[in-house]
């Protein structure tokens, strides 16, 4: 029998846009940290019950998505709903069916994981199957699940160029347990930087709106934002960015002209 979204307590919950993205971008999220088995430098988790943040032992910068869950219980509950419903599926095919039943066919751009990551091989395969079924939609994601990516390299491509499923676009984000695989396999990557100068020194453009992440292409950088653990270099970097006029992303924050102009 084919599982349907409603048969598994679905449908999954999708969003439209976020502080960085316009409403035309559909977003999908899982609980930050809890669904990120390969996270290291960024690994923070918000308690499912209380929302309280716990940083990991190796946290160099706090995951913005975890901070969001701490502040907004409705966001946290929606993400846990998605993870629970997906975990109830018994196969990749069942997960893919659930996503397809839950996602409007009119979505043109889907950011897979505004929060979270590919937490299992079946789950990875499910999104590839969804992308194959919806060739008119671009699905893009940042990931630290690099062993899973490499196991599917023929279909995903290396991020610089498309693979056999060209509407499925990945970027490897530094700060995971398998970072060494990025250089080893030449995967397209993104690094969190603490300043514009750091990005310039690395020869990387900063992506402020996911325009780099949405299509295959060169490596790029992401500017640190969000609340950071007190007393850390990341907290000092955020303070320095604020005094330079960069307060993060969203309609209620100020961006310096240089950043807006790109």
Q: Could you tell me how many residues of this chain bind ligand SF4 (CB under 6 A)?
A: 13
**What are the counts of helices (DSSP H) followed by strands (DSSP E) for the chain?**
10, 9
Minimum gap (Å) between residue 44 Cβ and ligand SF4: 6
Q: Which residue from 12, 25, 39, 103 is in contact with ligand SF4, where contact means CB under 6 A?
A: 39
Nearer Cβ to ligand SF4, position 3 or 238? 238
Minimum gap (Å) between residue 56 Cβ and ligand SF4: 8
Q: From 33-41, 99-107, 179-187, 217-225, give the range in contact with ligand SF4 by CB under 6 A.
A: 33-41
25 part of the interface to ligand SF4, by CB under 6 A: no
Nearer Cβ to ligand SF4, position 63 or 95? 63
Residues 200-229 that bind ligand SF4 (CB under 6 A): none
> E strands of 133-182, at which residues?
138-143, 168-173
Kindly state the helix (H) or strand (E) to which residue 29 belongs, with its residue range.
strand 25-29
Residue ranges in the chain assigned as alpha helix (H): 64-71, 73-87, 92-102, 121-133, 146-150, 153-156, 180-185, 196-202, 233-243, 257-260
Q: Which residue from 12, 32, 169, 206 is in contact with ligand SF4, where contact means CB under 6 A?
A: 32
User: If you count them, how many residues does the chain have?
Assistant: 262
Tokens linked to 132: 């194959």
Q: Which residue from 20, 43, 111, 212 is in contact with ligand SF4, where contact means CB under 6 A?
A: 43
Minimum gap (Å) between residue 258 Cβ and ligand SF4: 26
Nearer Cβ to ligand SF4, position 3 or 192? 192
115 part of the interface to ligand SF4, by CB under 6 A: yes
91 C-beta neighbours (distance < 10 Å), count? 12
Cα separation, 44 vs 63, in Å, equals: 6
- Contact yes or no for 41/25 (Cβ under 8 A): no
Residue bearing tokens 């299992």: 120
Q: Which residue from 12, 42, 53, 60 is in contact with ligand SF4, where contact means CB under 6 A?
A: 42
Residue window 136-155: x/- pattern of binding to ligand SF4, with contact defined by CB under 6 A: --------x-----------
- Contact yes or no for 59/44 (Cβ under 8 A): yes
Nearer Cβ to ligand SF4, position 44 or 137? 44
Q: Which residue from 3, 53, 63, 107 is in contact with ligand SF4, where contact means CB under 6 A?
A: 63
Nearer Cβ to ligand SF4, position 97 or 113? 113
Minimum gap (Å) between residue 262 Cβ and ligand SF4: 23
| Residues in CB range of 38: below 8 A, 6 or more apart | 117, 143, 144, 145, 146, 147, 176, 177, 178
Alpha carbon 238 to chain centroid, angstroms: 20
Cα separation, 173 vs 176, in Å, equals: 7
Binding site for ligand SF4 (CB under 6 A): 32-33, 36, 39, 42-43, 63, 65-66, 115-117, 144
């Amino acid at each position: 029998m084919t599982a349907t979204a409603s048969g598994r307590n679905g449908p999954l919950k999708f969003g439209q846009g976020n502080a960085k993205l316009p409403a035309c971008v559909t977003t999908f999220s899982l609980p930050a940290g809890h669904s990120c088995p390969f996270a290291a430098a960024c690994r923070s988790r918000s308690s499912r019950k209380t929302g309280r943040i716990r940083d990991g032992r190796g946290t160099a910068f706090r995951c913005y998505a975890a901070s969001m869950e701490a502040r907004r219980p409705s966001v946290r509950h929606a993400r846990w709903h998605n993870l629970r419903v997906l975990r109830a599926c018994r196969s990749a095919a069942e997960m893919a069916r659930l996503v397809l039943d839950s996602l409007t066919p009119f979505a043109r751009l889907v950011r897979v994981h505004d929060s979270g990551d590919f937490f299992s091989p079946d789950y990875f395969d499910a999104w590839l199957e969804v992308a194959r079924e919806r060739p008119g939609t671009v699905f893009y994601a940042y990931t630290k699940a690099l062993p899973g990516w490499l196991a599917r390299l023929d279909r995903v491509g290396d991020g610089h160029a498309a693979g056999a499923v060209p509407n499925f676009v990945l970027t490897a984000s530094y700060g995971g347990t398998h970072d060494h695989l990025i250089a080893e396999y030449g995967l397209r990557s993104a690094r969190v930087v603490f300043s514009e100068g750091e990005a310039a020194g690395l020869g990387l453009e900063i992506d402020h709106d996911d325009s780099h992440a949405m299509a295959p292409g060169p490596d790029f950088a992401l500017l640190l934002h969000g609340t950071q653990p007190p007393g850390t270099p990341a907290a000092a970097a955020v303070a320095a960015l604020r005094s330079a006029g960069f307060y993060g992303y969203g309609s209620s924050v100020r961006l310096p002209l240089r950043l807006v102009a790109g």
